[in-house]
Amino acid sequence: MSAIEQSNLLETSGHRIAAPRPSIRLIDAIALIVGLVIGAGIFETPALVAANTDSSNSVLQAWSIGGIISIIGALCYAELATTYPYVGGSYDYLKRAFGQSIATLFAWARMSVIQTGSIALLAFIFGDYASQIMRLGTFSAGIYAAVAIALLTALNILGVKHSKRLQNWLTITTILGLLVVIVVGLTLPTGPISPAPATATTSRSWGSAMVFVLLSYGGWNEAAQISAEIENYQRNIVRSLLWGLGIITALYLLINLAYLKSLGLAGMAQSPAVAADLMRQAFGEPGAKFISILVVICTLDSINATIFTGARTNFALGQDVAAFRFLGVWQDRHSTPTAAYLFQGAISLALVGLGTVTRDGFKTMVDYTAPIFWFFFLLSSISLLVLRVRDPDRPRPFRVPLYPMLPLLFCAACGYLLYSSLIYTGTGAIVGVIVVALGIPFVLRHRRQTR
C-alpha cells in the first residue's frame, strides 16, 4: 500500500476510517528537521568539544565529521522512508525486519522513554532559560516546562496547519538568531591564543568530543515518522534530509568558527556558557540576555517538532496492538492523532513532575533517554541491511550509494554512541531500561493474541 493510498479515507469492513494525507511541503519538512536538531545543545556542547581537542582545526574537523556521519545516516533513512512511506517510521522498519514484537517494544520505549523523555528534557532547558528572564518562584523551571508542553500539545491537536506554521516561524527565528551570534563572533577582535587543556591530547578525549558532536546532530531521523504526510515523498524525503542537514552543518561550523575567533580555544574550553560569554564580550549583560531569549526560542522549536513526530509512532502502535487501540484514531478534520498527542503529553508532564521533584531535571532526562535511544537507532539502521535481503524486489525510489559500506559505517557509529551512553550515564539509564522492560508484558500479550 502506497502513501497515496494512505492519504485517502480507507475502506475497512464497510466503514470509512480517517488516515494521514500528504500535507507537509518540502519547506515544512526542512523546518521540522532543522527544528528537531538545533536545540539548546549548540549553546553548550561546543565548550565540551573544545575541552577534548588539541587545536582549533581539530574542533572544526570534529564538527565536520559529525555532519558527514549524519548525512550518511540520512541517506540510509532516506532509502527506508521512500521504500516504506508509512506513519511511524522506524516502527514500521523494525516490524518488517525483526517482527511485531521488537516493533511493539520500540513503540513502548519511544512512548515511555525516548520521545517523552526528550520532550521533558527540552522543556526543562526552556524552563531554566525562561526563568532567567522572569522567575516564577521555587519551581519556576518545572512550571515553565509543564506550560510549554501543555500549550504546544494543544496547538498540535488543533491541526497540522497550525503546528507547521509555528514550526516554520520558530525555525526561521532560530536561524536568524544563530546568524546574529555568528556575525558578532566573526567580527569581534580575535580571542587570545592559548594552549588547550592537557587532557585534550589523548585518543579518549577525541572520542568524547565526537560523542558531544553527534549528540548535537541528533534528531534528524524523526523525519521518517512523517514520511506518509510529505508531499511527493519519493523526492522530498531525500531533499528535506539533505537540505536540512546541509543547513545545520553549515551553521554548526560557522558558530564554532565564531566561538574560536572571539574566545580562543582555551576560552571556549573553560566557558560554562560559551554563547553567553561571546555576546557578553560584545554587548555586556544585554548580550547575555539575548542568548537566554534565543535559547528559549530554539528550545520551543525543538519541543514542538518532537511533540509533532512523537505522536505518529503512538498512532502506528495503536493501529497494530489491541491494548493501545485508543491511540490509533486519526482525526481527519484536523489531520491529527488526537489521542496519541494527549497520551504523550500526559507522560511528558509526569516526567516533568519527576524531574521537578528531584531538582535535577535536565541530567535525569539525559541519563534516562540516551541508552534506549541509541539501542533502537542501531536496530533501525541494521533494518536497512535486513530488508535489502528479505525484500529484494521492493521498488526503491532511492538507494543509498556505496551500499553496504555506508550503512555499515553508520551502524558502527550508532554502536559507539550506545556504548558511550551506557558507560557515561548514571542511575537514570537504569530507570530507563526498567521502564522499557515494563513493556515486555504488552509484547507477550500481543504475541499470544496473534497466534
Q: Higher confidence at residue 349 or residue 312?
A: 349
Residue that the C-alpha cell 528479505 belongs to: 390
Neighbours of 193 (CB within 10 A): 10
198 compared with 402, residue with greater pLDDT: 402
Q: What pLDDT shows up at residue 256?
A: 93
pLDDT in tens, 133-173: 888 887 888 899 999 999 999 988 887 676 777 777 888 88
Note the pLDDT tens digit of each residue in 393-404: 999 989 999 999
pLDDT at 409: 93
H or E stretch including 114? Answer: none
Q: Picking from 57-66, 91-100, 167-176, 242-251, which range would have the lowest pLDDT averaged per residue?
A: 167-176
How high does pLDDT run on average in the chain? 80
Q: pLDDT band at 79, cuts 50/70/90?
A: very high
Indicate the pTM of the whole model: 0.75
For residue 113 the three cell numbers come to: 522513554
Distance separating alpha carbons of residues 424 and 26, to the nearest angstrom: 38
Model confidence at 198, in pLDDT bands (50, 70, 90)? very low
Give the start-to-end residue ranges of the domains of the chain: 24-450
pLDDT of residue 64: 93
> What's the average model confidence in pLDDT over 28-57?
81
Higher model confidence: residue 220 or residue 246?
246
**CATH domain 24-450 topology:** Amino acid/polyamine transporter I (1.20.1740)
pLDDT exceeds 90 at position 113: no
Q: Does 116 have pLDDT greater than 50?
A: yes
CA angle, corner 173, sides to 260 and 60, nearest 5? Answer: 20
Choose from 77-91, 258-272, 392-406, 411-425 the range with maximum mean pLDDT: 392-406
Residue 86: pLDDT band (50, 70, 90) is confident
| Residue 383, pLDDT above cutoff 90 | yes
- pLDDT above 90 for 273: no
Whole-angstrom distance, CA of residue 65 vs CA of residue 341: 36
Q: What is the mean pLDDT of residues 266-271?
A: 84
Percent of the chain surpassing pLDDT 90: 19
Please tell me the least confidently modeled range out of 8-12, 56-60, 210-214: 8-12
- The three cell numbers of residue 287 are 548580550
pLDDT at 363: 63
- pLDDT value at residue 20: 58
Contacts made by residues 207-211, CB under 8 angstroms, sequence distance 24+:
207/416, 207/420, 208/48, 208/52, 208/420, 209/48, 209/49, 209/52, 209/53, 209/58, 209/62, 210/62, 210/65, 210/66, 210/416, 211/417, 211/420, 211/424
